[in-house]
Structure 1
Amino acid sequence: MNSANSRELAGISVPDTPLVEQAFDYARRECEPYLFNHVVRSWLFATRIGQLRNIAHDAEVVAVGTLLHDITLNERFHGPRRFEVEGADLARVFARQGGVDERRAQLIWDSVALNSTPSIGLYKEAEVALCTAGICLDVVGLQYEVVPAAEVARIVEEFPRLDMKRRMTRCFCRIAETRPETTYDNFVRDFGERYVPGYRAPSSVDFVASAPFDE
């Protein structure tokens, strides 16, 4: 990344381009403060993992994918599809309007759509894998040891967590309560089963048993 097109944020060198600035502003408008801080930390962690591991990647794609990955994770969400897919569509529209070509726009879509599916996202293109890694580091501590502790501390100090565990849990539970049909094959189901009385999502077992074939 050319130093003329970069800046430091919480001690991490990140791309400084109009597209990234627009994504940053979009995330700040759409996300609650705790969630905005989460997506920024995810971006910084993703970027730093790429730097530390010398992973060649498109820094703008990683920036947009991480910054916009949770723009539908809020109490206004009404589906009808998984919040990640709804968010991915919005992120792709944003990218296209910003002049991003279709290949890069698709990488951004994948980064958002797969942000909570590391069993797939970590094995895709470098940009998608880094977005997934940064997000998972911030949410569950995956690869926490990769980024030096002092750097993690500075990132969290500048973009504090603001009771993220409790607030994010509340968001997931609301999705489980109001849109259980979007949760049968993703992690939100776990929150529904643990915290939401009467929660019941469609089952893959039922889908297979009800397939319109004799055997």
Structure 2
Amino acid sequence: MALNDNFDVKIPDSSLARQVTQLIRDTESELLFSHSSRVYFWAALLGNRKGLIFDPELLYVASMFHDIGLTSQYHDSQLRFEVDGANAARDFLRSQGLGGTDIEKVWNAIALHTTPGIPEHMHSEIALLQAGAGMDVAGRGFEQFTDEQRGAVTAAYPREPQFAHKMIDAFYHGMKHRPASTFGTFNDDFLAFKDPGFKRTDLCSVILCSHWEHC
């Protein structure tokens, strides 16, 4: 797919990109696959608009792997789902002969995509993945895209009816078995929204009741 609006954005035409597409299509639900595809386009469009220098292939890999940690193959993991995704992308890139800075960029982009306030100060691929994910899930930066751009992306990769609720469900089911991994992130919002019995960990209580304080 190519988007034309004063510039051209398309999925990289490479063996690596094709393998990523097939792997994620075979692994994720249609909901997550289409979401990840849209994230790439929002990220690349924004990068072009801002005149950023980025590697489209690395950005595509990061976009496609960023939510794989929510899938059922990680139902026994106690890591943050972002770290599961970052590790999966790292292993894939290593199998393709990539290494060093390329893997570091992709790993950090995925691991930090739910951590506001940090990615935007890092490499373009890292900043853009967070921006693309925020656009697709929460509409952050919605006004920075034209009607034509939004229409073209969602025509190629449609948002399912009730997309917002389905994404919340996907987050919940991907993390309900590892609630401790949501501490210190906004991911505990998904557990609290879906499970009235969920109790958030309160850092002030942790500090006040530590061994130092003898609570």
Common topology (TM > 0.5): yes
Shift of 1:174: 2.8
Partner of 1:9: 2
> Aligned residues: percent identity?
27
Alignment TM-score, normalising by the size of structure 1 = 0.88
Asked if the contact 1:42/1:137 (under 8 Å) is kept, the reply is: yes
Q: Please, which of 112, 115, 119 is the counterpart of residue 114 of structure 1? A: 112
Tell me the matched-pair count. 208
Shift of 1:212: 4.1
Residues 38 and 175 (structure 1 numbering): CA distance in 2 closer, same or farther, change over 3 Å?
A: closer
Partner of 1:180: 179
Amino acid across the alignment from 1:146: Q
Q: Deviations over 1:40-92 (max 9, x none)?
A: 00001111111111101112111111111011213453221111111111111
Q: Please, which of 121, 133, 137 is the counterpart of residue 131 of structure 2? A: 133
Partner of 1:19: 16
2: CA distance, partners of 1:74 / 1:54: 34
Q: Please, which of 55, 59, 67 is the counterpart of residue 70 of structure 1? A: 67
Amino acid across the alignment from 2:126: V
Alignment TM-score, normalising by the size of structure 2 = 0.88
Asked if the contact 2:35/2:136 (under 8 Å) is kept, the reply is: yes
Amino acid across the alignment from 1:199: F
Shift of 1:201: 3.4
2: CA distance, partners of 1:91 / 1:42: 16
Residues 22 and 175 (structure 1 numbering): CA distance in 2 closer, same or farther, change over 3 Å?
A: closer
Asked if the contact 2:34/2:157 (under 8 Å) is kept, the reply is: yes
Partner of 2:39: 42
Partner of 2:195: 196
Asked if the contact 1:35/1:70 (under 8 Å) is kept, the reply is: yes
Deviates further, 177-186 or 71-80: 71-80
Partner of 2:204: 205
Shift of 1:194: 2.6
Deviates further, 189-198 or 27-36: 189-198
Shift of 1:9: 3.5
**RMSD value, Cα:** 1.9
Asked if the contact 1:184/1:201 (under 8 Å) is kept, the reply is: yes
Q: Deviations over 1:81-121 (max 9, x none)?
A: 11111111111111111111221101100111111223222
Shift of 1:200: 1.6
Asked if the contact 2:71/2:174 (under 8 Å) is kept, the reply is: no
Residues 168 and 75 (structure 1 numbering): CA distance in 2 closer, same or farther, change over 3 Å?
A: farther
2: CA distance, partners of 1:168 / 1:14: 23
Extract structure 1 runs of 4+ deviating beyond 3 A.
8-11, 210-215
Residues 75 and 200 (structure 1 numbering): CA distance in 2 closer, same or farther, change over 3 Å?
A: farther
